[in-house]
A = this chain, B = another copy of it.
């Protein structure tokens, strides 16, 4: 591999190492992952890896900072531009299968759950800045829809958990079982149904489809 001379080159290399590290942490877990293997996966040596990151823990921290935020922004963009609840659910039905199959969110989920107790501070930070934010976004959406009379819901922050539940289940299922055969579900159908279920459940009483 060519040497990285410019700052741009170094950024690309850094990114490459982060991807390699996420893959190794995903497959082996933080503790069993070897720095040598992470470096080799990016066609570099262990020594070079240490030019870009201070320690294994530093690498873990950077992975989360690097991969979590963009996904949150994507999610925020999807939700905040939806005119109402029904529209937001339809978008979620299209967005969730894509995210589960093609984004790094499932891998990140598995890594963060598996090593949460080894880095409590990092994980708590993540909860505050990403997870709580997701629930707040959905909660806010529900409150606006309730105010406008589009839906009927008593506790929006609880409803948010019910909406997110199947997404988390499918993400973890993907992360844990994607490599094994059988047991997979058609995610598009699943989330289309999920959207319909949520619409019907929160429809104001007196409304019939």
Contacts and interface: CB of A to CB of B under 8 A. Distances in A.
Contact of A124 (B120, B157, B180, B190): B180
Residue from A27, A115, A165 with most neighbouring chain B CB atoms (10 Å): A165
Contacts of A16: none
Nearest to A116: B176
Nearest to A114: B114
Nearest to A206: B208
Nearest to A154: B193
A185 B175 CA distance: 26
A29 B116 CA distance: 9
A166 B190 CA distance: 15
Interface residues of A, number: 58
Copies of this protein, total: 2
Interface in A5-55: 26-32
Given A162-B193, A169-B168, A208-B208, A157 B185 contact: yes
Interface string A136-161: 00000000000000000011011101
A109 B164 CA distance: 18
Interface stretch (A64-72, A77-85, A197-205): A197-205
A158 B206 CA distance: 27
A117 interface: yes
A206 B115 CA distance: 49
Interface string A172-209: 10011101100101100110011011101110011011
